[in-house]
């Protein structure tokens, strides 16, 4: 286990040491939708790609053979599942046990892409700027990022359903709908948001941008 992990992330790490065993089962109702999105979220990625919060490796089989993928995750148990899925990937895959707010083994100015699905909505707001600093550090000048997050809908009916599910989602996954990911990226000196859009309704938000040259 790496020693260089933030204290708050150690709590999250402990949560996922349990959640990992049931993650794919618990996530199945949502995965029926997510698996339709995954191929198009990664289809344009080429070169050196870092997936932050690789989880159980659901995205791995969709990457192009021209990708050289580095996947990191806070949870060793999740990485063990991702390792099994990496056998079905068409690209080269290397997996590391890393805290996204530290990334001590990840080189600077190295990656063409940083990608994550639901990383920042799991990460406490006070730690998000630290992860974003790491994204700044590891991306090449002109490199791209694509982050998928969940936020509260402005539709009262949808938001009411989210509020009902929120305690369970936070307890099991550590995720919240009220993180301020866009705001934190806007405060970055190097990362520039090029566009945002929704995959479904106004809940599943995609944030895309570039690292300044």
Residue 212 has pLDDT above 60, yes or no: yes
Residue ranges of the domains in the chain? 7-211
Work out the pLDDT band at 4, boundaries 50, 70, 90. Answer: low
- What digits encode the pLDDT tens for the residues 11-30? 777 778 778 788 888 888 88
Report the pLDDT averaged over residues 175-202.
Answer: 96
- Of all residues in the chain, the percent with pLDDT exceeding 90 is 81
Q: What is the pLDDT of residue 50?
A: 98
Q: What is the pLDDT of residue 2?
A: 47
Bridge partners, 71 (sequence order): 51, 95
Ramachandran angles phi, psi of 140, nearest 5°: -70, 150
> Whose CA is closest to 42, among 65, 60, 63?
63
Q: How far apart are CA 104 and CA 31, in angstroms?
A: 31
Q: Rounded to 5 degrees, what angle do the CA atoms 16, 19, 25 make?
A: 140
Ramachandran angles phi, psi of 10, nearest 5°: -65, -35
Work out the pLDDT band at 5, boundaries 50, 70, 90. Answer: low
Judge whether 63 and 42 are in contact, CB under 8 Å: yes
In this structure, whether the domain defined by 7-211 belongs to CATH 3.10.180.10 is answered with no
Report the pLDDT averaged over residues 176-180.
Answer: 95
Q: What is the pLDDT of residue 28?
A: 87
The separation between CA 198 and the C-alpha centre of its own chain, rounded to angstroms, equals 16
Gyration radius of the chain over CA positions: 16
Residue 7 has pLDDT above 80, yes or no: no
Q: What is the pLDDT of residue 24?
A: 87
- What digits encode the pLDDT tens for the residues 78-107? 999 999 999 999 999 999 999 999 999 999
Residue 35 has pLDDT above 60, yes or no: yes
Burial of 132 by CB count in 10 Å (0-12 exposed, 13-18 middle, 19+ buried)?
A: buried
Bridge partners, 128 (sequence order): none
Report the pLDDT averaged over residues 52-61.
Answer: 96
Average per-residue pLDDT for the chain: 93
End-to-end CA distance of the chain: 35
Judge whether 12 and 73 are in contact, CB under 8 Å: no
> Whose CA is closest to 144, among 95, 93, 206, 191?
191
Q: How far apart are CA 156 and CA 152, in angstroms?
A: 10
């Amino acid at each position: 286990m790496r020693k260089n992990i933030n204290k708050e992330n150690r709590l999250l790490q402990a949560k996922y040491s349990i959640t990992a065993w049931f993650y794919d089962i618990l996530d199945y109702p949502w995965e029926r939708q997510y698996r339709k999105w995954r191929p198009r979220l990664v289809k344009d990625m080429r070169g050196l790609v870092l997936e932050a919060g690789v989880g159980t490796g659901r995205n791995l089989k969709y990457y192009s053979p021209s990708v050289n993928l580095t996947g990191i995750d806070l949870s060793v148990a999740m990485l063990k599942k991702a390792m099994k899925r990496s056998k079905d990937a068409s690209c080269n895959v290397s997996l590391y046990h890393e805290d996204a707010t530290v990334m001590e083994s990840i080189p600077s100015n190295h990656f063409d892409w940083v990608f994550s699905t639901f990383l920042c909505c799991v990460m406490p707001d006070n730690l998000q700027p630290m992860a974003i600093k790491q994204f700044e550090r590891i991306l090449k000048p002109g490199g791209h990022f694509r982050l998928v997050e969940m936020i509260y809908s402005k539709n009262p009916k949808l938001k009411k359903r989210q509020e009902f599910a929120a305690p369970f989602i936070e307890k099991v996954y550590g995720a919240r709908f009220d993180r301020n990911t866009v705001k934190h990226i806007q405060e970055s000196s190097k990362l520039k948001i090029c566009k945002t859009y929704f995959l479904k309704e106004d809940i599943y938000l995609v944030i895309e941008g570039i690292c300044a040259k």
